[in-house]
Amino acid sequence: MRTRALRVWMVCWLILVWVLLWGNVSAANLLSGLVIALVITVLLPLPPVPVEGRLHPIPLLRLVITVVWYLVSSSVQVAALALKPGPPPLSAVLRAHLAVKSDLVLVLAVNIINLTPGTMVLEIDQPRRMIYVHVLDVGSDRTVARFHRQVANLQKLLVDSFERDADWRPAAEKEVTS
């Protein structure tokens, strides 16, 4: 039942995106959107993503507030660097370890880091949970330490929101016990 509801939701979402791309609501756009959505969901399905753990709303709210803060403060820092006269800031590729269990949470962490101005994930070592991030303005030990603190804080918030040990059961274990 849940899988079917998810597919219906996906088809509706794809129809909405199709109509928004065309810019007006018409019978032709709705019908063609339905056809495109069905082709995508039936002929080109994505593999299922295992979802382990449980969602915790209060830590999720803290995560959202923290990410918004990172986005705003990083935007101000990048704007200040762009307006500052002189040579461009020193940038580097830094390595960080993310001790998350789920691939879904790893992808979420990488997306949050990529959205943050001044950072770009260049490589993900999935088995070891290492990411390599291009970071703007690493001219001092303090700025490098700030990056590592932000990644550690992001990891803690993601684990608190999605992967608490008490709620964690890998997807394979769920299938066997269900």
What residue ranges of the chain have pLDDT lower than 70?
1-2, 49-51, 166-178
Q: What is the pLDDT of residue 27?
A: 95
What digits encode the pLDDT tens for the residues 123-175?
999 999 999 999 998 988 999 999 999 999 999 999 999 887 766 666 655 44
d(CA 1, CA 20): 29
Q: What is the pLDDT of residue 38?
A: 93
Q: Match 């550690």 to its residue by tokens.
A: 152
d(CA 29, CA 78): 41
d(CA 65, CA 18): 31
Q: What is the pLDDT of residue 149?
A: 95
Q: Cα dist. 28→22, 23, 24, 39, 170 in Å?
A: 11, 12, 10, 16, 44
Task: Spell out where the chain has E strands.
Answer: 92-97, 119-125, 130-135
Lookup: tokens for 139: 């001219």
Lookup: tokens for 70: 């990172």
Where do the domains of the chain lie? 2-43, 57-166
Q: What is the pLDDT of residue 101?
A: 87
Q: What is the pLDDT of residue 172?
A: 57
Lookup: tokens for 131: 């990411």
